[in-house]
């Protein structure tokens, strides 16, 4: 007999945004496994589509640009990632972080956006 263990039941992102499903004739589920090496901080990002994250190993901290607040998650935990608030992932530990990211989106809609950079923006 199969054994089911509930991982999470979420109706809001970690930033308090309500769960939203895209209204599109071309829905797409995109998933990836991401590894963040020890001592690494990802670039700032937002997600135009809903993202569910499940920590496979390590401890990851999600940091928000607006107020500097941080949320820390350990292996076995899951959460809905913020969509419209700039955030980044941090691995402040000594072992790799690995997580499964599942995006509920639409065809030709990017799952991650990074802020613009370069001379025109910096100067």
Percent of the chain with pLDDT strictly greater than 70: 95
Please state which CATH class domain 30-108 belongs to: mainly beta
Rounded to an integer, the average pLDDT of 23-36 is 96
d(CA 9, CA 52): 11
pLDDT band of 123, cuts 50, 70, 90: very low
pLDDT band of 117, cuts 50, 70, 90: confident
pTM of the predicted protein model:
0.90
Q: Which CA distances in Å does 26 have to 23, 46, 106?
A: 9, 21, 5
CB 76 within 8 A of CB 122: no
Q: Work out the burial of residue 97: count CB atoms within 10 Å of its CB; fewer than 13 is exposed, 13-18 middle, 19 or more buried.
A: buried
pLDDT at 88: 97
- Residue 56 structure tokens: 């496979």
- Bridge partners for 33 per DSSP: 100
pLDDT at 91: 98
- Bridge partners for 53 per DSSP: 79, 101
């Amino acid at each position: 007999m199969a054994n089911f263990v509930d991982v999470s039941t979420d109706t809001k992102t970690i930033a308090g945004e309500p769960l939203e499903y895209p209204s599109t004739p071309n829905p797409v589920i995109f998933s990836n496994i991401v590894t963040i090496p020890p001592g690494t901080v990802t670039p700032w990002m937002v997600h135009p589509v809903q993202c569910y994250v499940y920590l496979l190993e390590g401890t990851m901290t999600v940091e928000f640009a607006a107020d500097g607040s941080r949320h820390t998650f350990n292996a076995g935990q899951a959460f809905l990632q913020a969509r419209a608030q700039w955030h980044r992932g941090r691995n402040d530990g000594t072992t790799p972080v690995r997580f499964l990211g599942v995006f509920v989106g639409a065809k030709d809609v990017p799952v991650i956006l990074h802020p613009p950079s370069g001379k025109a923006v910096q100067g």
